[in-house]
Amino acid sequence: MQPTPDLPVVLALLALPFVAAALTPLVHRALGERTAYFAAAVALACFGLAASQYGTEGVVSVAWIPALDVSLSLYVDGLSLLVAFLASGVGVLVFTYSAGYMHGEPGLAKYYATLLAFMGSMLGVALAADLVALFVFWELTSIASFVLIGHYSSQDSALYAARKSMFVTVGGGLFMLVGFVLLANATGTFSIATMLDRPELVREALRSQGVLLPVVVLVGVGAAAKSAQVPLHIWLPDAMEAPTPVSAFLHSATMVKAGVYLVGRLRPVLVTDEWTLLFAALGLTTMTVAAVLAIAATDIKQLLAYSTASHLGLIVAGFGFASVLGAETGAFHILNHAMFKAPLFLVAGIVAHEAGTRTISELGGLRRDLPITAAVTVVAALGMAGVPPFNGFYSKEFLFETTYEFAAHAGGLAWVVPAVAVLGSVFTFLYSVRFLMLFFGEKPSGLGHVHRPPLTMLAPPVLLAAVAGTIGLNGLLASFHAGFAPITEFVARVVNSTTAAGHGGHEFSYYVPTYVSPALVMSAATIALGLAAYPAYGRIHDALHALFRTVPPIQADWWYDAAVGGLDGVSRGTARVVQTGQLRTYAAWTLTATAGLALAGYAAVGASLPPLSYSLSIPLLLVLVTAVVAAAAVTVAPSHTTGVLTLSILGFMLAIFYILASAPDLALTQLVVETLVLVIFLLVLDRLPSYYGETRRSRKVRDAGLSVLVGATVTVTVLLATAGGDPSASLNPVSGIDTSHLVELAVEEGGGTNVVNVILVDLRAFDTLGEIGVVAIAALSVVTLIAMRERGGEAE
Amino acid sequence: MSTIILRTVTRLAVPIVFVTSFALFLQGHNLPGGGFIAGVLTATGLALVYIAYGLDFLEETVFQRSIGGSVEHIQHGLVSDYRRLFAVGLAIATGSGLVFVALGMPFMSYGYTYASFPLYDHMELASAVVFDFGVYCVVVGSLLTILSVVGEE
């Protein structure tokens, strides 16, 4: 049995970044640019806290709202610790790097506060033990990313990129939320830990309710949006508008890992044939397509962005396969990818910072000016290419082995799978070598002297590359049975938490193969094909560009822009029709919508009209006829004054109707309100513009139709509301309120015989309080609107 | 539209309107009436004064205060009194409910009692009257605020 995590430590781990983020503005005032070291210290503390929990596993929870059985629970195991290590460990280095990179930039307080909050959210995603908490932290990372991508908020491209990433990732998150709700609905719990305990029961429940495929697809959409899987990868290259440390942190090492984390987290619960079909296909497609796009990239950060999407595809594909090998592929590549991609981004930052350009064709031969950076790049880029004995090689070997076994097992068409894996890897090899060649070959004449980066910018990538190198070296040593255990032990823990076998002690090992295996042959083929194709790199690059130019719709970006542009057009059109600035248009739309919704509501609940059986006395009939005549007269009134006066005839007739219908309170109210309205009308009448005689026939027809519709709605509503006139039926059919006791209550409890008034001020006084609140707010708005208008007028 | 007839009628009618509205307010518990109706009636009476004599009349002649400019009329003078009136009204209405909370009963409870007074024997005292007075203040304050602000425009 594993030791359980320590609750105070885990809580502190989660809370620390958020507290630090809240304090950042104050710290920035005191420390200025050295806030970076404060943030790095916080990240280091988080790393220490996470490290202290290494080896533990299980749920810890603290009661939050005990009465509602709501608690804050956190889950710790290998996978969540891996992500926590990445978030805090890479965090330390990125904050340190920022001290050099962001030197002299404005908006640093916001930058560090957001990065810290992001780190906390990422730790939250990793540690959340239930789906709702996971979702909340998940969306928090999207929001932090939005702020950081839009860091240079004066640039339109940054704003476009920020909007795009927000749109895609938050939109995907909503799909995921629906998936979560379906999942929780089928299993009766939101707790991930409970699901992980009984995965077969969860699958059974989902299957029996027929929601397994929807859940897998919906969760898949969320993960794909976050982890930039095709075709939702489009936001990641644009996200490179963010400062480079952010790209290294969010868009390679951590946030984009949230998607693959989710896939790995739910893998033991949901892994089925549908799962394999969806995620293996998605991952392999992304791996290949994004690698091809990376070759087409002209900017080093863009190349790395597509490469990130490609490698995330590899991880997703690994997790997609049901075998333990698949889990090993995914788990190990999460670690490897972070260890080679983060330093590469930091290198790209150094190059851009010191050479002043990020265009690939303008760079070359940098190794003489930046020797240490070149060494880092060699380790990291060869790891990315999957060349033995660098770290990326091993996880790619696992993928090859997985796909080979899958194909050997399934046979037939399944052989496409290993072929695609090799194809994707060839492209990966090509762009990795291209990135490496920035440091070799001839230096272009346009490039001046390149300065050495400051130590704070150099140390983090060196450290990361050292870890990557160690992982690679360990594999080489393992071939001679001399590897060190901690790395394999750690990865074994991660693998265990992503396998359906669950918490059993699965052995994990990796080494440079000393015999010929299918996977080794595939690796050799990849490298051979890559080396053969490399001389044609320029031509492939140009051909891809020509293709994109001639057939724009093959790019997902084109679809995004077309969709967003189309939506823009629709909303502009809607605004033109609905918001004309004329009161009558607003009234027309509001009334149509209200009447339509009300009638649709009645139709939806299947309300039927009660039989009409009314007998009217002569005086009542006379009053009503007068009212109808007055109403008709309003429509033909030649001027505003006549219109208002005839309208008030209608109002006063209604008051008389109330008197005849034995409702003196209503009649009184109607009388005084009618009088007041008449007075107000007469006050403002002079100012009203005259529309009489100008209306078009079409508008008259529309208004007539509308008034008939509104009249019909009101009539139907009244008929339905009074349908319960039967004294034995005390429930009001519309409001659902039991009205039978109100009369007795009024006299006994309220002590008043005017039932209407007692209801208003005693029995339902809370309602009345709300109503007079509304009246007061209306008065306040009038004052505010008019005061603001005059203030605006003065300002102009 | 301010004619001699209107002014004369207004002078006679407005006091009657006020008395009526006061009566309506008091009898609301047992007979037709109540805070809302009384409030609207009071506001109507004052509106009549506005039409007959103009907005400045009340301010200058009745309350003997000087008038500010067009923005100031929102900030000072009668309009700010109206605004204060509906704020006070809301406070009274809410407070009448909160008193019960202080006494350990639910918010917006109600109760009544009968008391004897020297001249007015056996008078009913209902807690709801306080709430109703709040309603009255809010209605009068709000309507007159709207009326005078819009009227000034």
In chain B, what percentage of residues exceed pLDDT 70? 65
**Shortest alpha-carbon distance between residue B12 and chain A (Å):** 17
**In chain A, what residues touch B75 (CB-CB under 8 Å)?**
787
Burial class (CB in 10 A: 0-12, 13-18, 19+), B103: exposed
Nearest residue to A137 (alpha-carbon basis) of A51, A265, A238: A265
Residue among B21, B71, B72, B138 with most chain A CBs within 10 A, to mutate: B138
The complex's ipTM? 0.80
8 Å CB contact between A173 and A139? yes
Indicate whether B62 pLDDT > 90.
no
Closest residue in B to A683 (Cα) is B151
- Minimum-distance CB partner of A754 among B32, B47, B141: B32
In chain A, what percentage of residues exceed pLDDT 90? 11
CB A765 to CB B141 under 8 A? no
- Minimum-distance CB partner of B44 among A672, A762, A790: A672
Residue among A669, A761, A775 with most chain B CBs within 10 A, to mutate: A761
Over residues A717-745, mean pLDDT: 60
Indicate whether A178 pLDDT > 90.
yes
pLDDT score at A730: 46
**Shortest alpha-carbon distance between residue A685 and chain B (Å):** 11
Nearest residue to A122 (alpha-carbon basis) of A132, A136, A111, A109: A136
- Minimum-distance CB partner of B151 among A683, A760, A778: A683
Indicate whether A734 pLDDT > 60.
no
CA-based torsion, B47, B52, B56, B60: positive or negative: negative
CB B33 to CB A778 under 8 A? no
pLDDT tens digits along B137-149: 888 888 888 777 7
8 Å CB contact between A269 and A203? yes
Please name the residues in contact with A650: beta carbons below 8 A apart, sequence gap of 6 or more: A627, A630, A631, A634
pLDDT score at A243: 86
Q: What is the largest CA-CA distance in chain B?
A: 58
Over residues A30-39, mean pLDDT: 86
CA angle A103/A105/A111 to nearest 5° reads 100
Lowest-confidence segment of A105-109, A713-717, B1-5 by average pLDDT: B1-5
- From first CA to last CA, the distance across chain B in angstroms is 17
Indicate whether A789 pLDDT > 80.
no
Indicate whether B116 pLDDT > 80.
no
**In chain B, what residues touch A682 (CB-CB under 8 Å)?**
1, 51
Q: Predicted confidence band at A229 (pLDDT cuts at 50, 70, 90)?
A: confident
- Please state the pTM of the whole predicted model: 0.72
Query: A residues 251-290 near B, CB within 8 Å?
Result: none
CB A680 to CB B134 under 8 A? no
Indicate whether A621 pLDDT > 70.
yes
Which tokens sit at A637?
């009134």
Nearest residue to A348 (alpha-carbon basis) of A306, A393, A310: A306
- A793 vs A788: CA distance, rounded Å: 8
What would the DSSP string read from start to end of A170-202? HHHHHHHHHHHHHHHHHHS--BHHHHHHSHHHH
**Shortest alpha-carbon distance between residue B145 and chain A (Å):** 6
- A444 vs A365: CA distance, rounded Å: 8
Q: Which residue would you say has higher pLDDT here, A487 or A462?
A: A462
pLDDT score at B60: 67
Burial class (CB in 10 A: 0-12, 13-18, 19+), A665: buried
Report helix, strand or coil for A58. strand
**In chain B, what residues touch A780 (CB-CB under 8 Å)?**
83
**In chain B, what residues touch A762 (CB-CB under 8 Å)?**
110, 126, 128, 131
pLDDT tens digits along A328-373: 888 889 999 988 988 998 888 888 888 888 888 888 888 888 888 8
pLDDT score at A729: 47
**In chain A, what residues touch B108 (CB-CB under 8 Å)?**
765-766, 769
Helix H segments across A551-617? 556-578, 583-604
- Minimum-distance CB partner of B74 among A672, A761, A786: A786
Give the position of tokens 């090689």. A393
How high is the mean pLDDT of chain A? 84
Lowest-confidence segment of A247-261, A262-276, A720-734, B81-95 by average pLDDT: A720-734
- From first CA to last CA, the distance across chain A in angstroms is 74
8 Å CB contact between A722 and A612? no
pLDDT score at A18: 92
